[in-house]
Amino acid sequence: MAGHSKWANIQHRKGAQDKKRAKLFSKLGREIMVAAKLGGGDPDMNPRLRLAIATARGQSMPKDGIERAIAKGSGDTDGENYDEMRYEGYGVGGVAVIVEALTDNKNRTASEVRSTFTKNGGNLGETGCVNFMFDRVGEIIYPADKASADDMFEAALEAGAENVESGEEIHEIHCAADDFASVRDSLEAKYGEPEKSGLIWKPNVMTPVDEEQAASIIKLIDALEDNDDVQSVTANFDVSDEIMEKLMAAS
C-alpha cells in the first residue's frame, strides 16, 4: 500500500502545520458526544466512546474538551441530534473517495458534499459504489524516532497488528477493526500515546494518477475536510514519491 503510506505521510506533515485545530477538535468532540449519547458516558461500557476518546487523544485534543463532550452527550438535556452519513463517489482519474459525516441536517450536508465533488471534477455516487475497494481497519501512528523499525514491527505484531510500515517520519501500524483497542493499549503501554489513532478506510485497490490528477484529488479532499459536518475523507489514489514531494512543497 505504497500510495496509502505516501498519503499518510503528507497528512502527517499537514497535521504538524495545521492551523485549524479548533475545527478538528469540534469534529472530534461531536463524535464523542454522539457516542456518549448513544451508549452512555462510561468508556469501559461503551466501545464506540472508548474509540472516540482514543482518537481524540491521538490528535492531542485537550482533556477538558473531551470531558465536556462526554458530559454533553451523556446529559439529560436534549442537545443536538446528529445522523451518521457515509458518502461515496469518484474524483478525477476514477479515484474512489469515501466521506464520513455527522450531521444535524442530512439534506444540507448531502447537497454540500455533492457540490464539492462537482466543483472539483468528481461525482457523488450511491452508497456502496466504492467501499468494496477499501477495508475497515484500525490505524495507529507513532513518530519514527519512537522506536527502530525492527522494534516497532516486533512490538506491533506481538500486540496483534496485521501490518507495520516504517518510513523516515512515521511508523504506520494497521490491525483488524475488532482488535484496535487491544493493539493500541498494548503499544501505548510500551511506547506511550500514539501521535494518531482510529478506525480508517484503507484502500485495497490503488488508482494510479499523474501530477495534475493528484493535485485535483488533494484539492477535493481539502475542500471536503473543510466542511464542518465531514469527519473523515479517504481516497485510493497512488502517485510517485517525486510527485507527492512536489505537491507537498507547493502546499
User: What DSSP string runs through 117-172?
Assistant: HHHTT-EE--TTSSGGGEEEEEEEEEEGGGS-HHHHHHHHHHHT-SEEEE-SSEEE
Block residue for cell numbers 505521510: 9
- For residues 120 and 10, give the distance between their C-alpha atoms in angstroms, rounded to a whole number: 20
Q: Which of 60, 53, 52, 48 is nearest to 21 (CA)?
A: 60
Residue type, 65: G
Domain boundaries, given as residue ranges, for the chain:
2-74
What digits encode the pLDDT tens for the residues 5-49?
Answer: 555 555 545 554 455 677 889 899 999 999 998 889 999 899 889
What was the pLDDT predicted at 8? 55
Cell numbers given for 236: 485510493
pLDDT at 67: 93
C-alpha grid cell, residue 196: 494518531
Closest CA to 170 of 11, 45, 35: 11
Other C-beta atoms closer than 10 Å to the C-beta of 194 total 22
Class of domain 2-74: mainly alpha
Residue 30, H or E segment: helix 21-39
The dihedral built from the CA positions of residue 9, 11, 14 and 19, taken in this order, carries a sign that is negative
Q: What pLDDT is recorded for position 247?
A: 79
Residues of the chain with pLDDT under 70: 1-20, 76-79, 251
- Report d(CA 95, CA 93) in Å as an integer: 6
